[in-house]
A and B are shown apart, each in its own frame.
Chain A
Amino acid sequence: MNEMAKMVVVMTVLTVVSGGLLAAIRNGTLERIENQQLQFVKGPAIKEIMKGASNDPIKDRFKIKDGEVERSIFVGKFNGKPEVVAFETFAKGFGGPVGVMVGINLTNDTLAGVAVTTHSETPGMGARAKTDPTFVAQFKGKPALKPIKVTKDGGQITALSGATITSRAVCLAATKAGEIFKRLKPEIEKGIQKFN
């Protein structure tokens, strides 16, 4: 019985201590990890969309509660005023969810640009959505509040050859972003005040 008690005590102490240690390290690194993710995963996409912004759009961000989820909104300043907001949306692609950073110009509700952040599409096929700049360039200037579609579905975006599903996913993500933008516009406008 004595041995039994010892086992229980040792294992309990061990797990409690390791749990505590991990919690402490997690708390200590949480902010840094978030920054690293922003820099390496979302950062390039945001920079691409906000090319020429006078501020650092990765730093100038705020969060909005949208029902259950919290969305990070990135703000880009042009001509001294916060003009472009960007946030990430997801749509189902060929190999899983495709994450797309969508930038919307506040002055005329058009797309300032889109860029793929995370995906698991086929290399050389769907993966070109991220690497081929001519594909995402097509989104620039399109009205953000209307559904965006590939030409096959009656839209204006020429799909990547051999990667219609991925192209559709990017369009769908951009459309979703437009819907979210419509829904959250008052809050977004409130949020960007502090960057004026």
Chain B
Amino acid sequence: MAKSLAQEFTKGLWEEIPPFRLVLGLCPTLAVTKSVENGIGMGVATTFVLVFSNILVSALRKVIPSKVRIAAFIIIIATFVTVVELLMQAFTYPLFLKLGIFIPLIVVNCIVLGRAEAFASKNNIIRSTLDGLGIGIGFTLALGSLGAVREVFGNGTFLGMSVFGPHYEPFTFMVEAPGAFMCLGLMLCIMNLIGKK
């Protein structure tokens, strides 16, 4: 039952990779993955919140009365989300403008509260940190890869650099909302196919 520390970290990268395996946190997954940069930016912001809220929830797990635990978790999460929002405004303003409303919405991202409730409130700080880091990096990878597919086909670029040359006619469907659903569906499909073997 008990996993090794390394497993706590790596499970977030494949077995429990949030949007594809747990199918959680789909709102930002669909909305911000128009480009690789946006996807990774969102992933990093979420990772930051995940790691710190996991640490704090784990550290305070014996102090917080169980009746008000959800409220306490939300306070902790909301605090770190606001910290991220302020830091992004101060240091990466253009990215903040692109991600817009989805940064404050990390508060209601099911992954963050899910990890706090299901993992950090029952495990020690080291395990919780690794769990947060693993899940966060998994989320970043998922958003980055989804963003890559959509940006390459929808815009003909990768991280702003041209991939197919100037004659490529962008498949703009991919960067619109329906393209996001299609893309996510196909990704889930591929993940399941690989997982079956």
Contact = CB atoms under 8 A, between A and B. Distances in A.
A93 B108 CA distance: 33
- What interface size band does chain A fall in? 10 to 19
A40 B97 contact: yes
A29 B93 contact: no
A11 B68 contact: yes
B79 A39 contact: no
Interface stretch (B32-40, B82-90, B147-155, B156-164): B82-90
A15 B72 CA distance: 9
Contacts, number: 55
A105 B128 CA distance: 61
A-side interface mostly: helix
Interface in A109-157: none
B86 A26 contact: yes
A36 B65 CA distance: 42
Interface string A12-52: 00110010011001100100110011011000000000000
Nearest to B78: A18
B93 A25 contact: no
Contact of B90 (A3, A18, A32, A40): A32
Interface of A: 3, 6-7, 10-11, 14-15, 18, 21-22, 25-26, 29, 32-33, 36-37, 39-40
